[in-house]
Amino acid sequence: MMSNTSFWRASAAWMIGLAVVFGVLPLVTSSYQMSVATEILIFALLAMSIDLLAGFAGRTSLGHGAIFGVATYVVIYWTSTLGGSPWLALALGIVAATLTAAVFGLFAVRAGGVYFLLITLALGMIVWGVCLRWTSVTGGENGLRGVGRPAIVADPTMFYYATLATVLVFTFVIWRFANSPFGLSLRGIRDSESRMRSLGYATATHMLIAFTFTGFIAGVAGALYALFNNFVSPSTVQLSQSVEGLLMAIIGGVGTLFGAFIGSAAIILLENFVSEYTARWPMILGFMFIGTMIFAPQGILGALRELFRRRRS
Amino acid sequence: MGSLNLVQLLNGLTFAALLFIVASGFTLIFGLLRVVNLTHGALYLFGGYIGYSVALATGSFTLGALAAMVSVALLGIVLDQGLLRFVRRYELREVLLTLGVAFVLNDLALVIWGGDTFSIPVPEALRGATQIFGSYYPKYRLFVLILGILVFVGLWLLLNYTRLGALIRAGVDDAEMVEAMGINIRRVFLATFMLGSSLAGLGGMVGGAFLTLYPTADAEILVFSLAVVIIGGSGSLPGAAIGALLVGLLNTVGQVMFPELAYFVVFGPMAAILAFRPLGLFGKAA
């Protein structure tokens, strides 16, 4: 176990490193690459929300992609169909995602392990079903087209930096949340729920708050995605969105938080690369999932860390 | 509820019968082997497509159904012996692995059969409608209802009155003890896995004839099966039956009364049951 100061320093170094790497990126990349980098940042935030729940509360969610998509739908619906203000739309989208997460949480938090996963999966798929069928609002399979970004972030570079700033702020918030006393009690619940309960902790309430908070984060990512993609369809809320987010968290290493950036970069770069040659991305995603589960369930960072530890000792 | 008539009630019941056929396989594997097989929806879709191709080539619905069951049971063996064996007893890794397989199979189906919608041709004898309680109703859907009941009775007898059933139940309670008695428990579990998978294949064939087959049918049937198992409780045959009835009927009510929001009507009761019985109506803590 690292001492407190060195842990704090390591985290600060990570965050500064991230800010520097992503901060200078626009200086050396083309506009296409910058849009890929924007996408990486947005999905890193989604992956972090899943990682927070999986790594610190011990609950694997397959519903966060749907929560993410709820925010995207609300933002685009508010701006394009209703013609409302984009800033209010962002706020409403995040609120809608947070509320969705709270409802999901009410049903899911009392279950653990596989049951939790199944319930979040089923709830997420209900969102997908509703988006697909509720044609009068969601546009059904055709989806909804947005009205473009507000003028201040219309320029891709500006939008990139705005995304970076938002993601970094929330990265800090998540990190603070995970290492707060509340975060510590979540870890306690992860390790032994019955013990925490007998110590007098309201474990279900803790879980509900944690779930809602991670839904809020996923909602922020989803709202950013609405600005980024300017289009939403049922594929934004479908299961593969949750699966991709979870795979990013796992590849980056569950419980590492910052690993989400590595996982997100790995998956999105690969997806962009593969899509140039074949339309078989879902199959490749599936194979990656199978491979990760069999060979590296602790992720790339986890596997590397294991390697370091072995060499050191 | 004035708009709900006998035909719609029968629609709900026949859909419930199909759901039971599919979900009983899921609950069997989940409850007895402790494997949450998220490939089940993809197995349903594969069963349907293979059954469709065979039925079209041979002109026989029965042959198609047999081919669907056998080929999907074989897929089940490959899944269990080829992949799941590496992650045995890590519940979460098992689930996520089956999810990965589901993605691969779904995409594979898209490559092989394309994105068109297929409808499996119904055998001659089951075409047309018959009169029941004064209304005309498609014969084929009544056949599905009877098949669902037969599958329930068959599974019930198998689990409670045969040696294999006794072994399965014993293996669930204490696999090591069963092994110590000189019985190859892995073989028993493999048989269960094949049986559960073949039910998904049968479901695909039967369902493909009246719900049609298309690339996202697997996700839809999976979410319904999940709802059935979550409501009924894992591993419980009566639970699956009651869950299927509830989901089937509610889905019909939802489609009649709120066509665009039918999903919510299924989801409401599921949520209510979860709030009071997190393990489902018939679920027992593992």
Please list every residue in chain A whose beta carbon sits closer than 8 Å to the beta carbon of residue B111: 280
In chain A, what are the domains?
26-312 (1.10.3470)
Given a cut of 70, whether residue B285 has pLDDT beyond it is no
Res. B17 pLDDT band, cuts 50 70 90: very high
Q: Averaged over B165-170, what is the pLDDT?
A: 86
Q: Averaged over B207-211, what is the pLDDT?
A: 89
Residue B227 is assigned to a structural domain of this protein: yes
A290–B100 C-beta distance less than 8 A: yes
Residue B15 is assigned to a structural domain of this protein: yes
To test the contact with chain B by mutation, choose from A53, A61, A125, A278 the residue with the greatest count of B C-beta atoms within 10 A, namely: A125
CATH number of the CATH domain containing B272: 1.10.3470
Q: Residue A162 — φ and ψ, nearest 5°?
A: -65, -45
CB atoms within 10 A of CB B128: 11
Q: Please tell me the least confidently modeled range out of A226-240, B66-80, B96-110, B173-187.
A: B173-187
Q: Structural domain of residue B156, as residue ranges?
A: 6-276
Given a cut of 60, whether residue A1 has pLDDT beyond it is no
The partner residue sitting opposite A135, judged by closest CB among B36, B230, B260, is B260
Res. B2 pLDDT band, cuts 50 70 90: very low
A122–B223 C-beta distance less than 8 A: yes
- From B34's Cα to the closest Cα of chain A, the distance in A is 10
Given a cut of 50, whether residue A292 has pLDDT beyond it is yes
Instruction: State pLDDT tens for residues A194-219.
Output: 899 899 888 889 999 999 999 999 99
Residue B1 is assigned to a structural domain of this protein: no
Residue B282 is assigned to a structural domain of this protein: no
- From B284's Cα to the closest Cα of chain A, the distance in A is 12
A286–B104 C-beta distance less than 8 A: yes
Q: What is the pLDDT of residue A3?
A: 58
Q: In angstroms, rounded to a whole number, what is the distance separating the alpha carbons of residues B61 and B155?
A: 23
Please list every residue in chain A whose beta carbon sits closer than 8 Å to the beta carbon of residue B84: none
B100–A288 C-beta distance less than 8 A: yes
Quote ipTM for the complex. 0.84
To test the contact with chain B by mutation, choose from A61, A106, A115 the residue with the greatest count of B C-beta atoms within 10 A, namely: A115
Q: In angstroms, rounded to a whole number, what is the distance separating the alpha carbons of residues B72 and B68?
A: 6
3-state secondary structure of B183: coil
To test the contact with chain A by mutation, choose from B274, B277, B279, B284 the residue with the greatest count of A C-beta atoms within 10 A, namely: B274
Q: Please give the structure tokens belonging to residue A75.
A: 């933002």
Task: Name beta bridge partners: A145.
Answer: A231
Residue B286 is assigned to a structural domain of this protein: no
When divided into structural domains, chain B yields a total of 1
> Using alpha carbons only, how large is chain B's radius of gyration in Å?
19
Residue B190 is assigned to a structural domain of this protein: yes
- From A215's Cα to the closest Cα of chain B, the distance in A is 19
3-state secondary structure of B18: helix
Task: Name beta bridge partners: B138.
Answer: B129
Q: In angstroms, rounded to a whole number, what is the distance separating the alpha carbons of residues A203 and A226?
A: 34
Residue B140 is assigned to a structural domain of this protein: yes
- From B228's Cα to the closest Cα of chain A, the distance in A is 11
Q: What is the pLDDT of residue A301?
A: 66
Please list every residue in chain B whose beta carbon sits closer than 8 Å to the beta carbon of residue A238: 219
Which of B36, B25, B210 has the alpha carbon at shortest distance from A114? B36
Average pLDDT, chain A: 89
Instruction: State pLDDT tens for residues B229-254.
Output: 888 887 788 889 999 999 999 888 88
* Helix ranges, chain A (H): 4-28, 31-51, 64-76, 86-108, 113-133, 135-138, 156-178, 181-191, 193-198, 203-229, 234-237, 239-252, 259-275, 281-295, 299-312
Which of B198, B195, B202 has the alpha carbon at shortest distance from B168? B195
Q: Residue A240 — φ and ψ, nearest 5°?
A: -65, -20
Which residue would you say has higher pLDDT here, A43 or B262?
A43
Residue B255 is assigned to a structural domain of this protein: yes
- From A195's Cα to the closest Cα of chain B, the distance in A is 18
Please list every residue in chain B whose beta carbon sits closer than 8 Å to the beta carbon of residue A290: 83, 97, 100-101, 104
Helix (H) or strand (E) holding B223: helix B217-232
Which of B167, B284, B274 has the alpha carbon at shortest distance from B234? B284
Assess contact for A257 and A55: CB atoms under 8 A.
Answer: yes
pTM metric for this prediction: 0.87
